[in-house]
Structure 1
């Protein structure tokens, strides 16, 4: 461990001095992803560095799968199909993970913990064919019949976690904060690059491609997942942002 930390410390010193080397960031992720604590964005990028092809677990994979389920079930009506009870339950469970606390309170009238308890009761009752309370119907209608999406994480979250992991493992001190801030753009661009061109495995075996770009109204650099939606008269692709930054292409893309 001491030899590993000596190597990582050398790489951090280079990063802080303004030397932006891809291999240094790769090693910093690989050497610390098992010691990253409860910092899922850092762990996710580290896992992409280690295994880029056919990701079948992790924060981004779960978020993309949830978004696919949310859209798939919500769009059944557009395709002239009726959702089954299992479809609605799948969508409700996915949307509970996707929805923000504010969305849950606006749609269900209560906080996340109460919504989770209600949904558990709904699943049990509908499985037994029992009548639902009005509050349970409200919860089911919101979670089971809406399309909700969110990114898996943002550039700010990744950078904050990157700094926190280095600090927790004794590789930087508070005095290094300004120098590390100078490397933020490089850290985010590296994350965009390691995710671009990869793919995730969806629940039912399909694959969804990840690609970097800036096709959004603010032209922020981001990574989107390309979800293919079956059942329409013509092929439908839904590019959904999974990771976005506050970087624009000018000065960063050539």
Structure 2
């Protein structure tokens, strides 16, 4: 019965009927069987409960970005990072950094970087001397501000199509019709995230808001992180989800 209902909603979507309740039900009805598709699951979780998100892809990414900036900016605030500060920044940056960034900064691939960092954490905890390669890894991961979005519009759309296909709700022949609904699918994601908030791992909340205040004027969702310890309040709006849509024709 559930899939019959979802199939009806997919048919309406493919025919050009863009109804918010149809997308809501498609996410809610499939988020538990979305497989390894974190962007789809994330939007489905926002549809289910928008206030005070304390887990999920976007929440973890935002928390990592906050840690990365917080530790990197300690010197700007006249503070000396502790070992624990450097370790938590290194762990966050390992999750944030791309494979290309890790190879450029550490000289090796992700798997080797992860092994080195594990060794660094154990050695510094025992007060042991580090190898030159371990120092290089710690200096890069523990002393840089690294940022990335949680996911993009293209990733979300690809996962949306993949989930529908995996659950037998569309076929390959429906690809062109689904492409016609892409803008609606991305605008829906922007709307369900706008006005929500995430809970930071050390308490406090960070607001999510939609807009297009970037050099390319892409519609996006940013998280507003408040940075303590400066003479004046510092807010850092960081993009967590961005699309290839512009405001003309989509906003008023």
Per the normalisation by structure 1, the TM-score is 0.99
* Corresponding residue of 1:168: 166
> Structure 2: how far apart are the matches of 1:129 and 1:62?
30
* Corresponding residue of 2:90: 92
C-alpha displacement of 1:153: 0.1
C-alpha displacement of 1:67: 0.1
SS of equivalent residue, structure 2 residue 206 = strand
> Structure 2: how far apart are the matches of 1:24 and 1:203?
34
> Structure 1: how far apart are the matches of 2:117 and 2:231?
34
Question: 1:206-254 CA distances to partner (integer Å, 9 max, x unpaired)?
Answer: 1000000000000000000000000000000000000000000000001
Question: 1:43-86 CA distances to partner (integer Å, 9 max, x unpaired)?
Answer: 00000000100000000000000000000000000000000000
C-alpha displacement of 1:90: 0.3
Question: 1:15-46 CA distances to partner (integer Å, 9 max, x unpaired)?
Answer: 00000000000000000000000000000000
> Structure 1: how far apart are the matches of 2:227 and 2:63?
12
C-alpha displacement of 1:201: 0.1
> Structure 2: how far apart are the matches of 1:205 and 1:197?
19
> Structure 1: how far apart are the matches of 2:160 and 2:201?
29
> Structure 2: how far apart are the matches of 1:115 and 1:15?
45
> Structure 2: how far apart are the matches of 1:103 and 1:139?
12
SS of equivalent residue, structure 1 residue 94 = helix
> Structure 2: how far apart are the matches of 1:34 and 1:110?
36
SS of equivalent residue, structure 1 residue 208 = strand
Question: Which stretches of structure 1, 4 residues or more, deviate above 6 A after TM superposition?
Answer: none
Question: 1:164-183 CA distances to partner (integer Å, 9 max, x unpaired)?
Answer: 00000000000000000000
> Structure 1: how far apart are the matches of 2:117 and 2:183?
41
Query: Structure 1 regions of 5+ residues with no counterpart?
Result: none
Question: 1:118-166 CA distances to partner (integer Å, 9 max, x unpaired)?
Answer: 0000000000000000000000000000000000000000000000000
